[in-house]
């Protein structure tokens, strides 16, 4: 049986861990590509040497050549700079736009039918840039953020209540980080509404901790950032695409009127399948949640316009 093919761009912690999860789950053969010579090759070889132990049959190739990515079904883009001390958000925006633009152009050339899953920050703007640079239909260019924020939210709730993380259903919309919009109406613990078992002040503390989820980890690591949860969230999206499940996952997608938003990328629930976004799922929001979602989308639009894409 022919395996699906996934390209992971960037052999850093997020990319390498995503590649490892994909092959260990036998979801697809993986091409791990990076500009640093020897880095993807060494990590790929190390992973393949674990195959007899882990029992997977998928293969992983490490390379510096985009020609090796040809015919990919999914392209996961993790490459880019992390924000460093003294670097403004705009500095990060422009530098990663330059990096991502070149990557997307090369990937699209060799895999014109692929679905792109963007992981590089600033996530929402980079996903929009990927759509423009690839020329792909918007349905085939998706960003990973909502699933990660929802996972963090669910874990923090479970930690506070002392229950299993799997007992918590959580949904976070909007932009990644500061612009996230928790949907309390869809956040439940063992089927019970969170608002019925946790006071408003505690909920707001958890909301704030989720907004700062990445920064909290950076604070511990000092010289690195999160990669286990981000890679896990990206691979969940890859699985839904490759298996054509139609699973509803909070994703950064292009809106064309849904939620009263048009021509902008924003995090909302979406059914994912082999061709990318099957359907944007519209859920009921309070007036305040809707206002926050629109504010988040306006911020994405403002930052995208800074790139002056023609």
Positions marked active-site: 176
Answer whether 300's CB lies under 8 Å from 140's CB.
no
Answer whether 229's CB lies under 8 Å from 148's CB.
yes
Residues 6+ apart with CB under 8 A from 16: 8, 32, 43
In terms of Cα–Cα distance, which of 281, 272, 269, 270 is closest to 239? Answer: 272
In terms of Cα–Cα distance, which of 108, 112, 114, 113 is closest to 133? Answer: 108
Helix (H) and strand (E) counts in the chain: 10, 14
Euclidean distance between CA atoms 159 and 229, whole angstroms = 16
Euclidean distance between CA atoms 157 and 210, whole angstroms = 10
């Amino acid at each position: 049986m022919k395996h699906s093919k996934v390209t992971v761009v960037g052999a850093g912690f997020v990319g390498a861990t995503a590649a490892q999860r994909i092959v260990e789950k036998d979801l697809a053969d993986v091409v791990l590509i990076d500009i640093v010579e020897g880095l993807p090759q060494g990590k790929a070889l190390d992973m393949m040497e674990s195959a007899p132990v882990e029992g997977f049959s998928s293969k992983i190739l490490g390379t510096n050549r985009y020609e090796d990515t040809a015919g990919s079904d999914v392209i996961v883009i993790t490459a880019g700079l992390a924000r460093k001390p003294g670097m403004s958000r705009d500095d990060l925006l422009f530098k990663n736009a330059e990096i991502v633009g070149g990557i997307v152009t090369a990937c699209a050339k060799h895999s014109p039918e692929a679905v792109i899953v963007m992981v590089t920050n600033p996530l929402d703007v980079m996903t929009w840039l990927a759509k423009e640079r690839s020329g792909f239909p918007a349905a085939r260019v998706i960003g990973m953020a909502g699933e990660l924020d929802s996972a963090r939210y669910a874990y923090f709730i479970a930690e506070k209540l002392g229950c299993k993380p799997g007992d918590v259903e959580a949904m976070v919309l909007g932009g990644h980080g500061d612009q996230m919009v928790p949907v309390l109406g869809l956040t439940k613990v063992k089927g019970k509404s969170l608002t019925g078992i946790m006071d408003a002040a505690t909920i707001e503390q958890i909301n704030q901790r989720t907004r700062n989820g990445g920064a909290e980890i950076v604070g511990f690591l000092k010289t690195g950032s999160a990669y286990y949860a981000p890679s896990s969230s990206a691979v969940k999206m890859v699985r839904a695409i490759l298996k054509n499940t139609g699973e509803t996952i909070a994703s950064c997608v292009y809106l064309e009127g849904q939620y009263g938003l048009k021509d902008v990328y924003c995090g909302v629930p979406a059914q994912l399948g082999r061709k990318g976004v099957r359907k944007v799922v519209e859920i009921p929001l309070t007036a305040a949640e809707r206002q926050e979602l629109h504010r988040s989308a306006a911020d994405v639009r403002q930052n995208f316009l800074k790139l002056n894409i023609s």
